[in-house]
Amino acid sequence: MTDLFQKHKSLVTVVGGLFILVGIIAVSTSSQNDMRKKLTTPQLIEIAYARGEITDDYRLLYLTYAFFEPKSLPTRFRSNVGWRGTFILQEVYEAASSPEVFCSMSLHARREFQRLLKIKTTCEKETWTSILVGIFVITIIAFVVNIQNRKSQKL
């Protein structure tokens, strides 16, 4: 009888511990959701960026979505808390209009910035520079080969 009582006591202890654990998880999840409900869209994006979950170009892209096309913003970054974004909008336009910053972004982000902001920033300058350098190198190689051919013909 004592053995049966000990088994029930252990079972009650385990079940009680599980209830406490579920309660702690529920309270923790609830407080995280409450905290999330108090954060603005830019704050949610900044938290993800600080955690390394998104890159800087996607941070800027998501902020741009928040301004111009909220339906394109991933759900986890959407918030009903109001916010002002004058400085954020300024940062977005500066990044999108700076060829160095803009051209370092992913192709998808660049296309989205061009579509949403109607900016004219392109990365063609880098492409033309690469083409010109390539032509220059080919010209030098052809010149060297030509000189070697002339030398071998004289021999």
In tens, the pLDDT along 93-116 reads: 999 889 999 999 999 999 999 999
Cβ atoms of 73 and 56 within 8 Å: the answer is no
pLDDT in 10s for each residue of the chain, 155 residues: 555 445 555 544 544 444 454 445 554 444 445 555 689 999 999 999 999 999 999 999 999 999 999 999 999 999 999 998 889 999 999 998 899 999 999 999 999 999 999 988 888 755 556 666 677 667 777 766 677 777 777 66
Cβ atoms of 102 and 121 within 8 Å: the answer is yes
Res 10: pLDDT: 55
Res 69: pLDDT: 94
Cβ atoms of 110 and 102 within 8 Å: the answer is yes
Rounded Cα distance between 155 and 151, Å, is 7
Res 21: pLDDT: 47
Rounded Cα distance between 130 and 47, Å, is 38
